[in-house]
Amino acid sequence: MIESNLAQQARNAFYMGPDHETLAIDQAHTECFWQWFEDKGSIFREVVSPENLFDKRYLSGRCFGNAQSAAIGNNFRYLEGFASRDGSFIFHGFNIHNGTIIDITALNHPDAFRNHFGALPNHYMGVEIPLDFIEQSNGASLAENSMNISPLLFSYFLEQLKLEKHF
């Protein structure tokens, strides 16, 4: 669970910048989505940088695709949510392994984050998206190492909402 004030800060940043264009949340589900994110999300602060994950296939500006690819290729957990530094937030895809963050995009393209935050992110919050959902949604694009690999957070939310209504 994510504290309400922290979730609200991320939400405000989401709508103040271009992130809301990356993840279009329809107006009918806005409040429900953000409450779900707050309830289902987790906060992480311990970041690791494994040297064996430096790879040219992880492209700058493609955090969702990079992290989804890393999840499938390394059996990592995949999350979408926000990375932050000193109260500045960006919508972001990242991995968790053994309880620690592996930010494959920041690891391979640190200057992009230093230009945005002034340093690498040190605070993450997100909702885990299962590997089978990634495969079903973006498997073909990931296999082709496509530049445009979609974020999955809103579609996963809708899937969970549909499943809840069947019970």
Q: Is residue 84 pLDDT above 90, yes or no? A: yes
Total domains, the chain? 1
Give the pLDDT confidence of 154-167 residue by residue, as tens digits.
999 999 988 877 54
Task: Give the pLDDT score at 167.
Answer: 43
| Prediction pTM value | 0.91
pLDDT at 52: 75
| pLDDT tens, residue by residue, 69-81 | 999 999 999 999 9
DSSP letters along 17-55, please? STHHHHS---GGGHHHHHHHHHHH-EEE--EE--GGG--
Q: What is the pLDDT of residue 47?
A: 85
Cα-Cα-Cα-Cα dihedral sign, residues 132, 138, 140, 141: negative
Average pLDDT, the chain: 90
Structural domain boundaries enclosing 86: 4-165
pLDDT at 29 over 70: yes
Average pLDDT over residues 90-114: 93
Cα three-residue angle 156-74-136, rounded to 5 degrees:
30
- C-beta separation of 136 from 56 below 8 A: no
Q: Is pLDDT of 148 > 90?
A: no
> For 99-104, what is the mean pLDDT?
93
For 35-60, what is each residue's pLDDT tens digit?
Answer: 999 999 999 988 888 777 888 888 88
pLDDT at 24 over 90: no
